Structure 1
Amino acid sequence: MKKLYQYAACLLIGGLVATACKTTKSPSGQAGGVRQGQGVYQYREEDPLTKPFYSDRKGVIGRNGMVASAHPEASQVGLTILQAGGNAVDAAVAVQFALAVVYPNAGNVGGGGFMVYRDRSGKAYSLDYREKAPGRSTANMYLDSAGNVRPGLSTSGHLASGVPGSVDGMVEAHKRFGKLTWAQVLQPAIDLATNGYALTERDATGLNRIRKELQTINPGKAYFLKSTTDTSSRWKQGDKLVQADLARTLQRIQQQGRAGFYEGETARLLTDEMKRGGGIISEEDLKNYHAVWRDPLQATYKEYNVITMPPTSSGGVALIQLMRLSEQYPLRRWGWNRDSTVQVMIEAERRVYADRAKFLGDPDFLKIPVAQLIDPAYLRSRWQDFSFAHATDSRNVRGGTLPGYESLETTHFSIVDKEGNAVSITTTLNGGYGSRVVIGGAGFFMNNEMDDFSVKPGVPNMFGLTGNQANAIAPNKRMLSSMTPTILEKDGKLFMVVGTPGGSTIITSVYQTILNVIEHGMTMQQSVNALKFHHQWLPDKTIFEQGAFTEPTTQTLISRGYILERLTNTLGRMDCVLVRPDGSYEGASDPRADNTARGY
């Protein structure tokens, strides 16, 4: 304990002794401590439980419909569609395409995603429009002759892209559930691309940040540059971004539906771009791509029913595991982010991410033991090596043992309409602005989703997630995802629509946001505002937003061997809707970015 007190003293002294004070040893002998890069976390004097929120933003209340998305223009598009008589799916399709225009870092036609839909009668559906590996993909395509990963190939440039699924996904969703015409739901995005929209400060900052990389990867193109003559010119808030080529791409989709993207002119432009840059997506890959309707994953947590995404997403399985692992503990009595609450949640996350690495992948390519993974008896067995006395060492945690099993930047929006139909969609290019490749003549970014495969078993991807053979690259296979679009019911009625971007942190952000409401009594917006933390098995550390833990909680966790790392940025970009007791909707959008809720 003497060393622990010395460590606390170091924190009070400050950065003068940062190197010496970076970590300490807990009574259990494991490394514990708080760190921030090369420096030291300075404890704040005030108790964050008096204000455990990122901001004081209030939720938006509406009775007839609600849209919460990553961009104010896209949320307004969704609201306009609802007010015009469209249902939640009509609004979702319109928002997906609007985000492709106004939120190019994650909104897309060149990426993919997942949709969870619950209709007003309570029937649930899920649509997998995740990207696929091109037909010419190989398991070792990103390795050198010595079997080592070639840095950057799976994250940047033409070879990083999977076959896009977003357009086909929206076509399928609208065909099955849409109410307005296809032309009507596409028109708002076309108008935004044709006439332009005013950049927010965050929009401008993002485009300026990738300016040089855009020029390197897209020589001879001027897409997303402020000036075609002065390439050093920088965007600023309020500048108008017009995207004429993207408008024409969207018009082809509007006029021809699926064929307007996967065949004809757009397909030719996409495959020509791939040939130009060494990519391997072919016309045959595009023609053969189809989204897949899957049975949604459903499970109970106390009096709630959780409806979420099955594999190819790992998010639904992991979310249900986390909630069921937590269910036996009195988190409500212990309190929000108190030491025991946090310890249970970290240890649950540690075990769930180990299972993710071992068992999960594309269900069209391997048998995934979903029912066993979420079985309460199996989950009880995962707690056998847990002790409140000390942190579990991730080196000693592996995916669980299941009898009979043989091993083998993102954005979210939530919509509820007047009738109670609800849509939860998470869609992505993977990293911000995807592969940074813009399709010449078509004006949209391609994804870098190939990095979500295990490019080599045991080697972490861009989000630090370690994968295994279950998620190895194979032609026409869908890569594993952490996206977790989710809908909750209470007493058989719609209760919550929730989701977020965030790579590997998606699952834990959704988990905390749900618990904040149903265990800790927060409003939907308070739950979104609440400060968050994340653990993912490997690397063995817990990252957290500044102020998420009190000083006593931090000291207790350190004494038990937990390594804590304060973030200089934030976790999550939640967009959620809660049905309040009086039947009205509370739309909650994340104050950490430009996220906006619109209701009426």
Structure 2
Amino acid sequence: AMAVGIPGTIAGIFAVHEKFGKLSIKDIFEPVIALAQKGVIVTEKQKISFDKYREDIVEVSGTNNLFAKVFEKNDTVKYPAFAKTLRRIQENGRDEFYKGETAKKLIDFLQKNGSIITMEDLAKYEAKWREPITFMYKDLKIISMSPPSSGGICLAQIMKMIAPFDVSKMGHNTTKTVQLITEAERRAYADRSYYLGDPDFVKIPIKQLLDNSYLQNRMNSFSFEKATSSSELPYGKVNIVESTETTHYSIVDQYGNAVSVTTTLNDGYGCKLYSDELGFFLNDEMDDFSAKPGVPNIFGLVGGEANSITSQKRMLSSMTPTIVEKNGKLFMVVGTPGGSTIITSVLQTILNVYEFGMTMQDAVDAPRFHHQWLPDNITFEPDAFSKEMLEELKMKGYIISENSMPVIGKVDAILIGSDGKLEGGADKRGDDKAFGF
């Protein structure tokens, strides 16, 4: 329970509803409560996930919790306790979760399991509105998440570093394209580890980090002839790991409103601590802090003092919910789970459409690769890239990893055509679905 950070989803939902909502909270919650009561059907991929994590869940939460049971494909999982929790929040509002009966039940459960979170900690929590990171890539205006997520800044740095090159002419997933993107990612993730954290606690030099001349200087050491060594790049000496079990959804409505939302428990099923009374798992978000600067987290990411643990501070993440405009009009809504690979998955999806002319579905399904400065290797999805290209990269000094990460991201995105037609792309890597109504 010491891994648990204050849950922010309920505060976030109510803050967004207060600012933009038209339906009542009662109307919004009703179908969610009904679904929790009716239950959901287990898919093949969910069964695999349950089986993978069951032993860990039982170790933390015991043999009597809901997820200690062996579920088969097509079984129905019902969440009556979660439905009751949602009903209380529906009736009593945001404060039910942070100050009410649900808060008391949550704190009692956490403290019995060793947490130091108090009622006062819950009551102090508030959702924060921040200015997004906005930048141009050629004729695209890209709007993404600002710190304490590293997503927007890293995405902006990478895209600005590759913008001077004719990426389209280089071709999709060719040796040159992989090299260029890898080297830009290497430099952006090096800066991430040193500079980024909660802007309420650390001064982040955003203007300098996104300055074109600064980024051009960062790429001065890049050569198509050989790999740059991460050990030779400044702002090293730190590393971080993130889980791939985040959730993302992208929505466009009939009025042209667009929403890109990423939410997470961090690792798969969070810290594996499940409250039978409340009906949900708790996160392990404390892992996203640099508990020991320079030591990797579960995603292999290295972090510095800027992301060290402090009371009421928010941890650095890689969430990259993104909205793209072209010629002043909505062009794309995109995001993904994937821990440290979120940024690079969003990047490649945008490039696949804009530079390589893919459909939205082809863009999210296309094979992906990832580099995050440390560890100093390029991770490729297995059996998805030509052996010749991988050999060329090895000859240039790149370290190749094909088996460490079978799936990189699970992107959900919407492309808006020039005629206003919406084209959904739901990643084949997950149980993702694209639908309109």
User: Which TM-score band (shorter chain)?
Assistant: over 0.9
Which residue among 329, 333, 353 is the counterpart of 2:189?
353
1:554 Cα deviation (Å)? Answer: 1.7
Which residue among 247, 254, 263 is the counterpart of 2:83?
247
Change in CA separation of 1:220 and 1:340 when aligned onto 2, cut-off 3 Å:
closer
Which residue among 347, 358, 383 is the counterpart of 1:511?
347
Are 1:273 and 1:440, in contact at CA under 8 Å, matched by a contact in 2? Answer: no
Moved over 4 A (4+): none
Q: Match for 1:539: what amino acid?
A: P
1:557 is aligned to 2:400: no
- Write out aligned runs for 1:89-168 (5 A): 158-168=1-11
CA distance in 2, matches of 1:339, 1:474: 43
Are 1:413 and 1:499, in contact at CA under 8 Å, matched by a contact in 2? Answer: yes
Match of 2:39 in 1: 196
1:475 is aligned to 2:319: no
CA distance in 2, matches of 1:413, 1:213: 27
1:588 is aligned to 2:410: no
Are 1:517 and 1:527, in contact at CA under 8 Å, matched by a contact in 2? Answer: yes
Which residue among 572, 575, 579 is the counterpart of 2:416?
579
CA distance in 1, matches of 2:158, 2:53: 36
CA distance in 2, matches of 1:294, 1:318: 17
Q: Match for 1:344: what amino acid?
A: L
Change in CA separation of 1:283 and 1:301 when aligned onto 2, cut-off 3 Å:
same
Report sequence identity in percent. 50
Are 2:53 and 2:268, in contact at CA under 8 Å, matched by a contact in 1? Answer: no
CA distance in 2, matches of 1:398, 1:535: 16
3-state DSSP of counterpart to 2:361: helix
1:220 Cα deviation (Å)? Answer: 6.3
Match of 1:276 in 2: 112
Match of 2:48 in 1: 205
CA distance in 2, matches of 1:248, 1:589: 31
Are 1:326 and 1:345, in contact at CA under 8 Å, matched by a contact in 2? Answer: yes
CA distance in 2, matches of 1:159, 1:399: 30
1:495 is aligned to 2:331: yes
Are 1:450 and 1:479, in contact at CA under 8 Å, matched by a contact in 2? Answer: yes
1:191 Cα deviation (Å)? Answer: 0.6
Alpha-carbon displacement from aligned partner over 1:36-80 (angstroms, at most 9, x marks no partner): xxxxxxxxxxxxxxxxxxxxxxxxxxxxxxxxxxxxxxxxxxxxx
Normalised TM-score (structure 2): 0.96
Gaps of 5+ in 2: 237-244
Which deviates the most, 199-208 or 441-450?
Answer: 199-208
CA distance in 1, matches of 2:99, 2:64: 23
- Say how many residue pairs are matched: 428
1:330 Cα deviation (Å)? Answer: 0.9
Change in CA separation of 1:549 and 1:203 when aligned onto 2, cut-off 3 Å:
closer
Q: Match for 1:593: what amino acid?
A: G
Q: Match for 2:72: what amino acid?
A: K
Match of 2:153 in 1: 317
1:525 is aligned to 2:355: no
1:546 Cα deviation (Å)? Answer: 2.6
Match of 1:171 in 2: 14
Change in CA separation of 1:330 and 1:547 when aligned onto 2, cut-off 3 Å:
farther
Are 1:532 and 1:544, in contact at CA under 8 Å, matched by a contact in 2? Answer: yes
Q: Match for 1:299: what amino acid?
A: F
3-state DSSP of counterpart to 2:143: strand
CA distance in 1, matches of 2:268, 2:178: 30
Are 1:312 and 1:480, in contact at CA under 8 Å, matched by a contact in 2? Answer: yes
Are 1:307 and 1:486, in contact at CA under 8 Å, matched by a contact in 2? Answer: yes
3-state DSSP of counterpart to 2:406: coil
Normalised TM-score (structure 1): 0.70
1:223 Cα deviation (Å)? Answer: 2.2
Alignment RMSD, CA only?
1.2
Q: Which structure carries more relative contact order (alpha carbon 8 Å, separation 6+)?
A: 1
CA distance in 2, matches of 1:492, 1:584: 16
CA distance in 1, matches of 2:365, 2:53: 28
3-state DSSP of counterpart to 1:224: helix
Are 2:136 and 2:142, in contact at CA under 8 Å, matched by a contact in 1? Answer: yes
Match of 2:241 in 1: none
Gaps of 5+ in 1: 1-157, 227-233, 401-408
3-state DSSP of counterpart to 1:479: coil
1:235 is aligned to 2:71: yes
Q: Match for 2:264: what amino acid?
A: T
Alpha-carbon displacement from aligned partner over 1:78-133 (angstroms, at most 9, x marks no partner): xxxxxxxxxxxxxxxxxxxxxxxxxxxxxxxxxxxxxxxxxxxxxxxxxxxxxxxx
1:214 Cα deviation (Å)? Answer: 2.2
1:387 Cα deviation (Å)? Answer: 1.6
Bigger radius of gyration among the two: 1
Q: Match for 2:246: what amino acid?
A: T
3-state DSSP of counterpart to 2:435: strand
Alpha-carbon displacement from aligned partner over 1:173-204 (angstroms, at most 9, x marks no partner): 01110111101111111011112122112222
Alpha-carbon displacement from aligned partner over 1:136-174 (angstroms, at most 9, x marks no partner): xxxxxxxxxxxxxxxxxxxxxx01000010000000001
- Write out aligned runs for 1:15-30 (5 A): none
Which residue among 222, 229, 237 is the counterpart of 2:65?
222
CA distance in 1, matches of 2:387, 2:48: 34
CA distance in 2, matches of 1:453, 1:235: 34
Change in CA separation of 1:214 and 1:551 when aligned onto 2, cut-off 3 Å:
closer
1:547 Cα deviation (Å)? Answer: 4.0
Q: Match for 2:49: what amino acid?
A: G
